[in-house]
Amino acid sequence: MEERLQKILARAGYGSRRACETIIAANRVQVNGHLASLGDKADPERDRITVDGRPLKVAEELVYIALHKPRGVLSAVEAPDSRPTVRDLVALPGRFYPVGRLDVDSEGLILLTNDGQLANHLTHPRFGHRKVYRVLVARHPDEEQLATFRRGVVLEDGYRTEPADVYVERLQGKGAWLMVTLREGRKRQIRETCAQLGLPVVRIVRVSIGSLRLGTLKPGQWRHLTAAEVEALRRPADDAPAGERRAAPRQRPGSPAPSHQVIPSRSPRKSPQRHGG
């Protein structure tokens, strides 16, 4: 059966569908000796597909890894300098890539996988998967600042952010921990938004991607996902159980901090590993 080339390449481990479209547009793919174009289809069982002159790889065993990215680590497979990358933290063979990148100063949950279809499902805006962050700001936010954050702001490049779910988790000295839920993922979006609102960011920790939770993983630790977790990630964004859709009720500044963990870990997990140990 014929399928779009980007879907075939993604399934073979060449990255997300969007990344595979870039590979095709760069004239790196041929089908039966002819240069491929975006929109072309092929049958991987019948047609000879090559990337950079090499036959299409046999589909790899799919790998799904949850990693707690520490500060100072790049969300990339290769670094342009001597800084460590998320790939350096997982001592496993094979090719897999980060899904849902974090800037170098942020930390928290990163998914590493060679499943291009799942990567596309989690990152494409039309699927609307939620990403939840704990954000420590240096000041106590007022209701006007929170309301503006929730409505969306215009960033320096002119882009207006989508509405966000934001509330105060707890106060900490002169600052406060915010819980921020986004359905989009523009570069440094939270930092730029908070800067415009007069709320300097001290720390950002991503605690969930879709249905996947950071749980008890410490910085630098990683673990394989369970089959149930992978299946949950494949579901439409709004197909999560009702209890997964809302981590905790909104809390107004100055109200008592909750005594329970705000983002519970519901799925069974294997023992975490540190640096591939």
Cβ burial 84-93 (10 Å sphere, 16+ → b, else e): ebbbbbbeee
Q: Which of 103, 105, 165, 238 is catalytic?
A: 103
In angstroms, the CA 49 to CA 34 distance is 9
The yes-or-no answer on residue 103 being catalytic is yes
Q: Which structure tokens are listed for 22? A: 């870039």
Query: What's residue 44's pLDDT?
Result: 85
How far are the Cα atoms of 3, 79, 211, 214 from residue 34, in angstroms, in the given order? Answer: 17, 34, 42, 45
Report the pLDDT value the prediction gives residue 112, as an integer from 0 to 100.
Answer: 95
Domains of the chain: 3-55 (3.10.290.10), 64-126+215-250 (3.30.70.580), 130-209 (3.30.70.1560)
pLDDT tens column, 128-171: 689 999 999 999 999 999 999 999 999 888 889 999 999 999 99
| Alpha helices, H only, the chain | 5-11, 17-25, 116-123, 143-151, 189-196, 227-234, 242-245
Read off the pTM.
Answer: 0.68
Distance between CA atoms of 91 and 57, rounded to whole angstroms? 22
State residue 125's pLDDT score: 66
Q: What share of the chain is helix, strand, coil (3-state, %, to 5)?
A: 25, 25, 50
Residue 16 Cα distances to 13, 73, 113, 184, 225, angstroms: 8, 22, 10, 17, 19
The 10 Å Cβ neighbour count of residue 258 is 12
Q: Which residues of the chain have pLDDT under 70?
A: 58-60, 125, 128, 238-277
